[in-house]
Structure 1
Amino acid sequence: MISAVDRIMSQSEWILDGNFYFVRAERNDDFGQATIIETAGGGVEEGEELQDAIKRELKEELGVKVDVICKIGVVSDYYNLIHRHNINNYFLCKVEFFGEK
């Protein structure tokens, strides 16, 4: 059962020209200063399909249009600092083209 503190996420690992890509980010916020390597993606909106969410998130965040190849798996974690349970759905995506964000 999904509760009010659960967050459904859609994440991706994506390929272009046979290479796999991740997102490198620098941060200095309430969670601390860090350089992190992560997958791109984000929250699924109410009523939105998981595959539509990952396409939307990659377009919004990176200006990338992708084709979803397959679902890789699901990872459930608990974000202790903000007391939130995340359900992360991972997809393998192929880049169709880079465009504007």
Structure 2
Amino acid sequence: MKEMLIMTPGPTAVAENVRLARAKVTTNPDIDLEFYDFYKRTCDKLAQFLKTKNDLRILAGEGILGLEAACASLTESGDRVLVLDNGIFGHGFAEFVELYGGQALLL
């Protein structure tokens, strides 16, 4: 099979051993009670590592999810936010800033 070059954002090249591991039967974390315990323990360990007593959540998703989470957590109405205008992700970040009440200043 010819190797394909995938030119989408994010990590796309997957090693063979990872593909094989992902092919194994797994449970559905949405309904697996053991996953909730594992997730809670992992969040607690990460909070301890970061030396915070604040609530901590691990988000699973694309990089843009992290950008929106940052805007949702940090942008307040009327904030002026300097945004690097570097293409689609910069424009998306500016939209998030404005969605959460800030004023995006594109650079």
- TM-score range (shorter-chain normalised) is under 0.3
Q: Larger % of helix: which?
A: 2
Q: Larger % of strand: which?
A: 1
Give the greater-gyration-radius structure (CA): 2
Higher RCO, Cα 8 Å, sep 6+: 1
